[in-house]
């Protein structure tokens, strides 16, 4: 029976849609409906980019606005004299010799900023204008530090939908969100709380797979995902690298690395996962990746641990070792992830690092408890005198475990020592776990002595 799972909406989250970010998104052929979510205030930002809708945090809380005519702001103003800075669209205005305000225009002639000054020539207020000539934010300054003390974000009709108060060190002290009737909707105490509030609302409205390539944004998304089990989270490595990707992988439904080298480096640290993807940074053609990702994302389990106990061990030939074990997994596996596990044995030479894997047959399964067996060709990794470590590995969607085999009853270990190809092999217990100890046989010692350089 195939279990139908929901398909998340793809959303690319970034601090702002600046030129570099536009170029990054523009060069990616997503081949999938996507929305772009931005967090920084951008009153002149687009409502869409390419074929994607842009959802900005501030536009979201401001709400829809009716179309208004464009307002022109003339440079000359009755009753005031002014001086223009040489070759710049910047003007300083005077009233009877007293400096009262500063105006800056864009290169295309739209008013951008007005700063107001008191009789002591202290800046006490700033107005910021959008490209249609409306004030989008009003900032009251601290007269001693000349830094923002309160910031009001305005709709075109002049009503405030959000205000921020700042501490003396410039950090946010309080954020208040208002509705259209000036009622207080929410009081927050940091920028992270504001991001949290915004993204949480989006999650409640739509099942998103949030992708980001910014570490700061990723950390915010991760803190939210801990509360919302329905949230899907991905991280795309660009120039930024997660400090400990091996610790972060379990939190991610998708971890995308832009080069094969980084992909192999990550796999070496974390073990193979279905949630780690390599996408060439040269072409940025991500069609296949996105299709696979959207299909894979719902299969995200919450396994925490795996424990392996030896049931039986015997030599089937001089170097073929048969093992049987009981495997207990702890955690949660959703219904649509049941049966998607892959188990195999791994044999590793402790000194040389040579390793090889062998298929593990799953004989029974009941409530995350399995019995498995398999045959290991031990001689395949005997290239140096060393102990050989034995592991059972499990890949299960986003989870990976490699557990050594615990020996609870030493009597289950065969006492006979094997001798093959100049090596002596003996199955032993080391720190309560199974391993194979190697020693040089008489023939190997003799050959080394005959061919030693004099």
Residue 270 pLDDT: 86
Query: What confidence category does residue 448 fall into, taking pLDDT thresholds of 50, 70 and 90?
Result: low
What's the rounded Cα separation, in Å, for the pair 312 and 126?
A: 78
Tell me: do 334 and 291 sit in the same domain.
no
Please give the mean pLDDT across all residues of the chain: 87
Q: What percentage of the chain exceeds 70 in pLDDT?
A: 91
The lowest-confidence range among 76-90, 103-117, 204-218 is: 204-218
Closest to 287 (Cα-Cα) out of 6, 3, 4, 10: 10
Structural element, H or E, at residue 395: strand 387-396
Residues 6+ apart with CB under 8 A from 255: 234, 235, 237, 245, 248, 249, 266, 273, 275, 276, 277
Residue 68 domain flag: no
Indicate whether 158 pLDDT > 70.
yes
Q: What is the CATH number of the domain that holds 272?
A: 3.40.50.2000
Residue 71 domain flag: no
**Structural domains in the chain (count):** 3
Tell me: do 409 and 332 sit in the same domain.
yes
Query: What confidence category does residue 114 fall into, taking pLDDT thresholds of 50, 70 and 90?
Result: very high
- Burial class of residue 86, CB neighbours in 10 A (0-12, 13-18, 19+): exposed
Tell me: do 175 and 109 sit in the same domain.
yes
Indicate whether 323 pLDDT > 70.
yes
What's the rounded Cα separation, in Å, for the pair 326 and 304?
A: 17
Rounded mean pLDDT, 387-401: 92
Give the CA-trace dihedral at 409, 414, 419, 423, to 10 degrees: -10
Q: Specify the higher pLDDT residue, 418 or 188.
A: 188
Tell me: do 337 and 228 sit in the same domain.
no
Rounded mean pLDDT, 59-83: 92
Query: What confidence category does residue 1 fall into, taking pLDDT thresholds of 50, 70 and 90?
Result: very low
Can you tell me whether residue 319 is helix, strand or coil?
coil
Residue 206 pLDDT: 85
**Beta-carbon count within 10 A of 235 CB:** 26
Tell me: do 312 and 443 sit in the same domain.
yes
Tell me: do 152 and 287 sit in the same domain.
no
What's the rounded Cα separation, in Å, for the pair 188 and 207?
A: 25
Q: Using alpha carbons only, what angle is made at residue 124 by residues 121 and 126, rounded to the nearest 5 degrees?
A: 115
- Burial class of residue 266, CB neighbours in 10 A (0-12, 13-18, 19+): buried
Can you tell me whether residue 26 is helix, strand or coil?
helix
Return contacts of 20-26, CB within 8 angstroms, 24+ apart.
22/49, 24/213, 24/238, 25/49, 25/50, 25/52, 26/50
Phi/psi at 307 (5° precision): -125, 130
- Burial class of residue 34, CB neighbours in 10 A (0-12, 13-18, 19+): buried
Query: What confidence category does residue 2 fall into, taking pLDDT thresholds of 50, 70 and 90?
Result: very low
Residue 113 pLDDT: 97
Rounded mean pLDDT, 416-425: 83
What's the rounded Cα separation, in Å, for the pair 439 and 359?
A: 27
Residue 283 pLDDT: 46
Task: Give the end of a domain, one of 179, 199, 215.
Answer: 179
pLDDT in tens, 7-53: 778 888 999 988 777 776 765 666 677 889 999 999 998 888 877 88
Return contacts of 15-22, CB within 8 angstroms, 24+ apart.
15/39, 15/40, 15/214, 15/216, 15/217, 16/40, 16/42, 16/45, 17/42, 17/45, 17/46, 17/49, 17/54, 22/49
Q: Specify the higher pLDDT residue, 447 or 60.
A: 60
Closest to 404 (Cα-Cα) out of 368, 431, 373, 425: 431
| Top-ranked range on mean pLDDT: pick from 119-128, 207-216, 225-234, 240-249 | 119-128
Tell me: do 136 and 258 sit in the same domain.
no
Query: What confidence category does residue 311 fall into, taking pLDDT thresholds of 50, 70 and 90?
Result: very high
What's the rounded Cα separation, in Å, for the pair 400 and 270?
A: 8
Tell me: do 50 and 110 sit in the same domain.
no
Query: What confidence category does residue 209 fall into, taking pLDDT thresholds of 50, 70 and 90?
Result: confident
pLDDT in tens, 242-262: 888 778 888 888 888 878 888
Residue 4 domain flag: no
Assess contact for 203 and 3: CB atoms under 8 A: no
What's the rounded Cα separation, in Å, for the pair 217 and 239?
A: 14
Rounded mean pLDDT, 212-230: 86
Indicate whether 57 pLDDT > 90.
yes
Assess contact for 353 and 314: CB atoms under 8 A: no
Residues in the chain: 454
Residue 184 domain flag: no
Tell me: do 33 and 51 sit in the same domain.
yes
Rounded mean pLDDT, 367-394: 93
The lowest-confidence range among 136-145, 160-169, 303-312, 377-386 is: 377-386
Tell me: do 440 and 333 sit in the same domain.
yes
Task: Give the end of a domain, one of 264, 296, 328.
Answer: 296
Residue 29 pLDDT: 60
Residue 73 domain flag: no
Tell the residue number behind the tokens 């700042």, with chain if given.
166
Phi/psi at 337 (5° precision): -105, -5
Rounded mean pLDDT, 160-174: 95
Tell me: do 291 and 311 sit in the same domain.
no
Query: What confidence category does residue 92 fall into, taking pLDDT thresholds of 50, 70 and 90?
Result: very high
Residue 100 pLDDT: 96
For 189-224, letters b (16+ CB in 10 Å) and e give eeeeebbbbbbeebbeeebbbbbbbbeebbebbbeb
Indicate whether 346 pLDDT > 60.
yes
Residue 395 pLDDT: 92
Residue 110 pLDDT: 94
What's the rounded Cα separation, in Å, for the pair 146 and 194?
A: 25
Residue 452 domain flag: no
DSSP designation for 29: B
Between strands 160-166 and 148-154, the pairing is antiparallel
What's the rounded Cα separation, in Å, for the pair 30 and 10?
A: 10
Structure tokens belonging to residue 330: 């702890």
Residue 3 pLDDT: 42
Domain of residue 341 covers: 302-447
Tell me: do 319 and 403 sit in the same domain.
yes
Residues 6+ apart with CB under 8 A from 157: 65
Predicted structure pTM score: 0.77
Residue 31 pLDDT: 62
3-state secondary structure labels for all residues of 260-296: HHHHHHHHHHHCCCCCEEECCCCCCECHHHHHHHHHH
pLDDT in tens, 263-302: 888 888 888 888 888 876 554 455 566 777 777 777 778 8
Residue 256 pLDDT: 85
């Amino acid at each position: 029976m195939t279990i139908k799972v929901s398909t998340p909406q793809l959303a690319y989250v970034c601090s702002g849609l600046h030129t570099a970010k536009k170029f990054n998104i523009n060069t990616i052929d997503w081949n999938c409906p996507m929305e772009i979510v931005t967090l920084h205030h951008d009153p002149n930002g687009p409502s869409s980019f390419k074929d994607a809708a842009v959802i900005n945090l501030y536009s979201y809380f401001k709400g829809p606005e009716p179309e208004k005519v464009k307002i022109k702001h003339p440079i000359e103003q009755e009753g005031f004299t002014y001086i223009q800075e040489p070759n710049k669209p910047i003007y300083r205005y005077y009233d009877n010799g007293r400096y009262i305000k500063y105006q800056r225009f864009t290169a295309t002639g739209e008013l951008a900023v007005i700063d107001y000054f008191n009789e002591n020539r202290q800046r006490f207020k700033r107005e910021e204008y959008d490209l249609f000539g409306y004030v989008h934010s009003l900032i009251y300054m601290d007269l001693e530090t000349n830094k923002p003390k309160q910031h009001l974000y305005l709709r075109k009709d002049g009503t405030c939908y959000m205000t921020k108060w700042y501490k003396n060190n410039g950090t946010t002290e309080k954020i208040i969100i208002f509705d259209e009737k000036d009622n207080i909707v929410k009081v927050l105490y940091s920028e992270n709380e504001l991001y949290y509030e915004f993204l949480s609302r989006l999650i409640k409205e739509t099942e998103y797979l949030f992708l980001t390539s910014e570490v700061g944004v990723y950390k915010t998304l991760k803190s939210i995902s801990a509360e919302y089990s329905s949230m899907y989270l991905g991280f795309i490595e660009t120039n930024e690298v997660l400090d400990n990707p091996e610790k972060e992988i379990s939190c991610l439904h998708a971890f995308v690395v832009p080069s094969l080298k980084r992909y192999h480096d990550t796999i070496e640290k974390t073990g193979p996962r279905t949630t780690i993807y390599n996408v060439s940074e040269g072409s940025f053609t991500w069609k296949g990746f996105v299709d696979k990702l959207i299909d894979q994302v719902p299969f995200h389990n919450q396994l925490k641990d795996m424990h392996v106990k030896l049931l039986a061990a015997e030599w089937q030939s001089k170097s073929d070792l048969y093992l049987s074990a009981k495997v207990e997994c702890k955690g949660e596996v959703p219904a649509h992830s049941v049966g998607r596990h892959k188990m195999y044995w791994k044999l590793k030479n402790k000194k040389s690092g040579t390793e090889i894997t062998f298929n593990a047959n799953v004989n029974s399964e009941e409530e995350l408890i399995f019995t498995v067996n398999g045959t290991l060709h031990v001689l395949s990794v005997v290239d140096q005198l060393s102990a050989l470590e034995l592991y059972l590995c499990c890949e299960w969607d986003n989870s990976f475990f490699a557990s050594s085999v615990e020996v609870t009853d030493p009597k289950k270990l065969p006492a006979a020592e094997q001798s093959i190809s100049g090596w002596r092999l003996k199955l032993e217990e080391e720190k309560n776990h199974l391993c194979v100890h190697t020693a040089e046989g008489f023939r190997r010692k003799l050959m080394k002595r005959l061919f030693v350089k004099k």
